[in-house]
Amino acid sequence: MTRIDSPFQPGRLDDEWLEADAFGGFASGTVGTARTRRYHALLLAATRPPGGRVVLVNGVEAWLEVNGQRLSLTMQRYAPDLIYPDIAANLVSFETVPWPTWRFSFGESLTVSAEVLVAKASGETMLRWRLLNTDPSSRPVSLKVRPLLSGRDYHALHHANDAFNFSFTAHSNPDTDTARIAWQPYGDVPVIHASTNGTYTHAPDWYRNFCYVRERERGLDFTEDLATPGVFTFDLSTQSAVMILSAGTADAASAQQRAHTLTAVEHARRASFGSRLTRSADAYVVGRNEGRTLIAGFPWFTDWGRDTFIAMRGLLIATGRLDEARAILLEWAGTLSEGMLPNRFPDYGDVPEFNAVDASLWFAVAVHDYLATSHADTDTRERLQHTVVAILDGYTRGTRFNIGVDADGLLRAGEPGVQLTWMDAKVGDWVVTPRIGKPVEVQALWFNALRIAANWDARWHEPAVRVQQAFGARFVDPVTRGLFDVVDVDHVAGTLDRSVRPNQIFAVGGLPFALLDGAAARAVVEQVEAWLLTPLGLRTLAPFDRNYKGRYTGTPLERDGAYHQGTVWPWLLGPFVEAWLRVHSTDPSQSARSALRANAHKRFIAPLDAHLDRAGLDHLSEVADGDAPHTAGGTPFQAWSLGERLRIGAWLDQT
């Protein structure tokens, strides 16, 4: 868990929390309660799980009224840079377990808590405020809550307009002290339901010019107007205040009863996870069609093939969530086309995108890890093995984007204007790192897929041997002893890309079968450690390279230009640690292995774990600056960053 106590450092107020449901929807925000992203919301629903996301309730304005005083529990940021009201002086603690909870103190006689919980199974958001202590002379304590609504696509922004529908429907049940209010801002978005034990006063208004500083830093539009239809009033002196927000339908139970049910279920579910990391991992597991998938990252990614297969090795397989691993692998196996699995499904529309040479090969690796658990029944094993073989057959014959086996047995891929590897930044027609030819990590993945299939089909053994021989002959740089990043660049025989990048680490670690061992493997690890290693992961390009970008900041063009040109990626630390241990494990004694693992944890894992308490709390960020102090960027909640941390932790425990 993350716990933050007063006095707050100013930067900690911008750290972010996440509550995700099982469909691709979520709530998120900051410790300081001011929204800094367009994606921060209390009710954000996936209308076509896990896509079709719409923001319904962006936030609330909440305050106490005590003896004629107004005491704020939330703060907002307005353009250009006005924070009002400022709650920092009264916010005394914040913690993420069991769910985001704030504690406010207004002198010694008045302390209030505020909570946000998203129910995994139903997608409801519970807001609850409780009076923890008060001086009897200060009663009554009244709570006022104004919901702030939009009803927009989660990538968009909302502005005041005459089409917004402020009308509401109300259903009251005096026997249960519950009011159910419903709004539908626009005809094509779900109905917003609010079930409360308070009273509702209709008072439509607009709050204008909210300022989202993270969007401004990203060079995007950053101001928004939100509609507030009315005010809820609660008497905190007599009972806690509850508001249950939901999209489309509302539970018929009383607000207090529903809150009790949700908190009991969520307490039990969250307590069942064995660690902070496995609890966080649960956020990424969501539904797709009748099966399951993994969200690549919050707040703006949905599910991507490559990310899913990399992340699931740690998020699901290493943590024993094997039923879900099976469901995801079978769901994706059904999307096979011409030997390829999709790299992503768009938020809207059903036509998948197949622009990845490596996604299908990562699927084979995930299948290997899953089948090694002996969880699969005969039918599942046969279906997954059949899919892996179909991938190899398709790649051997040749498929989209010039993907195919060359005369030397290595896998070529790429054509102008298409990004096929994980280094996939593209701005307009500019592919920043095209890597057309034979990328180094693609050969490691191809070799592994062949070796994996050879376990049940002997015809793939000889191609695997050819790949290993050709790789050793063609990829080792005779000058540095590291590995070339791409050979036969642009399909021109004999051309080489000597960029020092982290992709070479996969020849030694991160995959079931290493392509290199001995002195060749050690040389790769030493080069990566010398030029690319940082406390948060591996740089994507050595700092001495003329194309190196040390900061991941600025406009979309500037950020995409730096994305794989020096920016640090935490997920790469998993393969590096595995490779580092492999080349340094020279003493087979138990004491030596234990000492080596302890050294690896202190040097590499502990600095990464420290990041769990910053940025995306209890999670790991997508990227960080290549230059110190390695400020985190990209998505604050990234699946494969957390997945590789879990996988390498399990791997360390087993070696």
Q: What is the pLDDT of residue 134?
A: 65
Residue type, 126: M
Sign of CA dihedral 388, 394, 397, 399: negative
d(C-alpha 462, C-alpha 26), whole Å: 48
**What are the strands, taking DSSP E only, across 67-140?**
69-72, 76-78, 82-84, 91-95, 101-105, 110-118, 125-134
Say yes or no to pLDDT of 463 above 60.
yes
Q: What are phi and psi of 165, to 5 degrees?
A: -95, 105
Q: What is the pLDDT of residue 162?
A: 97
Domain spans of the chain, in order of start: 3-271, 276-356+366-390, 532-655
| Residue 15 · residue 615 · CB < 8 Å | yes
3-271: which CATH architecture? Distorted Sandwich (2.70)
Choose among 562, 536, 541: nearest CA to 628.
536
Helix, strand, coil tally for the chain in percent (to 5): 35, 30, 40
pLDDT score recorded for residue 347: 61
Q: How many CA atoms within 13 Å lie on the side-chain side of 102?
A: 26
Give residue 153's pLDDT: 97
Residue 539 has pLDDT above 70, yes or no: yes
pLDDT score, position 8: 53
Q: What is the mean pLDDT of the chain?
A: 94
Decide if 558 contacts 219 (C-beta within 8 A). yes
User: In this predicted structure, what is the pLDDT of residue 499?
Assistant: 97
Mean pLDDT of 294-311: 96
Tokens of 551: 């900061």
Whole-number pLDDT of residue 136: 58
Q: Return the structure tokens found at 146.
A: 């104004």
- Per residue in 36-90, pLDDT (tens digit) is 999 999 999 999 999 999 999 999 999 999 988 999 999 999 999 999 999 999 9
Cis link prior to 434 (omega < 30° from 0)?
no
Question: What's the rounded Cα separation, in Å, for the pair 183 and 192?
Answer: 5
- The string of DSSP codes covering 278-345 is HHHHGGGEEEETTEEEE--EETT---BHHHHHHHHIIIIITTT-HHHHHHHHHHHHTT-BTTB--SB-
Residues in contact with 117: Cβ distance below 8 Å, sequence separation at least 6, in sequence order:
19, 98, 99, 100, 125, 126, 128, 262, 263, 266
How far is it, in rounded angstroms, from Cα 644 to Cα 654? 15
pLDDT tier for residue 108 given thresholds of 50, 70 and 90: confident
Q: What percent of the chain has pLDDT over 90?
A: 87
- For residue 546, pLDDT over 80 is answered with yes
Residue that the structure tokens 């879990």 belong to: 646
For residue 477, is pLDDT > 70? yes
Specify whether the CB–CB gap between 270 and 279 falls below 8 A: yes
pLDDT band at 587 (very low <50, low <70, confident <90, very high): confident
d(CA 536, CA 539): 9
Q: What's the pLDDT score for residue 5?
A: 62
Confidence of residue 548 (pLDDT cuts 50, 70, 90): very high
What is the rounded distance in angstroms from the CA atom of residue 148 to the CA atom of residue 231? Answer: 10
Q: Report the C-alpha gap between 114 and 74 in whole angstroms.
A: 10
Residues 6+ apart with CB under 8 A from 83: 34, 75, 76, 77
Residue 124 contacts residue 251 (beta carbons within 8 Å) = yes
Greatest C-alpha distance within the chain? 87
Question: Whose CA is closest to 253, among 269, 264, 238, 267?
Answer: 264
User: Is residue 138 scored above 60 in pLDDT?
Assistant: no
Instruction: Give the single-character DSSP code of 399.
Output: B
Report pLDDT digits (tens) over 416-452: 999 999 999 988 889 999 999 999 999 999 999 999 9
**What b/e string do you get for 506-541 counting C-beta neighbours within 10 Å, with b at 16 or more?**
bbbbbbeebbbeeebbbbbbebbbebbbbbbbbbbb
Residue 6 clears pLDDT 60, i.e. is over it: no
pLDDT at 10: 56
What distance in Å separates the CA atoms of residue 444 and residue 516, rounded to the nearest whole number? 10
Q: What is the pLDDT of residue 135?
A: 64
CA-based angle 526:527:529, to the nearest 5? 65
- C-beta of residue 559 within 8 angstroms of C-beta of residue 625: no
Query: Is the Cα dihedral 118, 119, 125, 126 positive or negative?
Result: negative
CB atoms within 10 A of CB 301: 19
Are 104 and 114 spatial neighbours (Cβ–Cβ below 8 Å)?
yes
pLDDT at position 350 is 65
The pLDDT tens digits of the residues spanning 215-232 come to 999 999 999 999 999 999
**Contact of 190 with 247, CB cutoff 8 Å:** yes
Beta bridge partners of 29: 17
**Residue 217 has what pLDDT?**
94
pLDDT confidence tier of residue 3, bands split at 50, 70 and 90: low
From 147, 149, 152, 183, select the one nearest 168 (Cα to Cα).
Answer: 183
Query: 346 or 530: which carries more pLDDT confidence?
Result: 530
Residue 613 sits at the vertex; the CA angle it makes with 608 and 615, to the nearest 5 degrees, is 90
Rounded mean pLDDT of 558-570?
96
Can you tell me the distance from the alpha carbon of 180 to that of 173, in angstroms, rounded to the nearest whole number? 9
State the average pLDDT over residues 10-19. 89
What letter would DSSP give residue 232? Answer: E
Q: Residue 288: which pLDDT band, with cuts at 50, 70 and 90?
A: confident
Q: How far is Cα 535 from Cα 608, in angstroms, rounded to an integer? A: 6
The token duo for 342 is: 């999709």
CA 386 to chain CA centroid, Å, is 30
The pLDDT confidence band at residue 352, using thresholds 50, 70 and 90, is confident
Q: Tokens 């960029």 correspond to what residue?
A: 499
Lowest mean pLDDT among 210-214, 347-351, 473-477: 347-351
Work out the angle between the directed axes of helices 359-371 and 305-312 (0-180°, nearest 10). 30
* More confident: 68 or 284: 284
Residue 252 confidence (pLDDT): 80
382 has pLDDT over 90: yes
